[in-house]
A and B are shown apart, each in its own frame.
Chain A
């Protein structure tokens, strides 16, 4: 029983839309208020990253089930320049976009599972999962 929801990220207002859709899905999964807030914040960071660094992308919002618990999985994909040095990109305070450098490293701390696939010129795919407690 998997439901999914695909959204484009093309403008600033799409980032707001992504937050709202993720919030609704998080409520449906039964995440606690704090966990809802964490996953929506992570989604906001990652959606903005896709917009700022790749000029846009898309997100797939999925409700998943590992047999014991339900969870929310978000897959952010873009066809942008990719990330040449992943460990560096995941370091607190590292930025190439003039931000605080907390987008990637911070959102990793806000979710239970974090998977980043990227190579220069091949875009970026970031999959994050938050399980209901």
Chain B
């Protein structure tokens, strides 16, 4: 089973999904992220799905769960880079990803987290 790496940039944890996820990897990622949020005290989580070709209800639910868990641990989650075809399919499937914030790309995702925080949370990294 492949594990998705979790990167830390200042107060933000960044996960970029580059592989065709199988269900166990999805569950493992969910746990890893929760652990990392607590361990690093991160204020934001960005999940980059630019390379993801499909999001089915299982992965969709994972995204919503990660957002809910992170919020409980005082971190905001932003899903970035969803492809148009994936978005159209999710709507048709009936998934609205309620409670998940989204942004067009990584840069805008970081900007959104900064805006939410009201402070420059990435300054620590510089």
Contact = CB atoms under 8 A, between A and B. Distances in A.
A binds B: yes
Interface in B89-119: 89, 92-95
Q: Is the interface of A mostly helix, strand, loop or mixed?
A: helix
A106 B92 contact: yes
B54 A44 contact: yes
Interface residues of A, number: 27
A42 B20 CA distance: 15
Interface in B28-77: 53-58, 60-61
Contacts of B95: 100, 102, 106
A110 B94 CA distance: 10
Contact of A41 (B23, B55, B61, B83): B55
Contacts of A92: 94
Interface of B: 20-24, 53-58, 60-61, 83-86, 88-89, 92-95
18 contacts: A12-B22, A15-B22, A34-B84, A37-B83, A37-B89, A45-B56, A45-B93, A48-B23, A92-B94, A100-B61, A102-B94, A102-B95, A103-B57, A106-B93, A107-B93, A109-B93, A109-B94, A110-B89
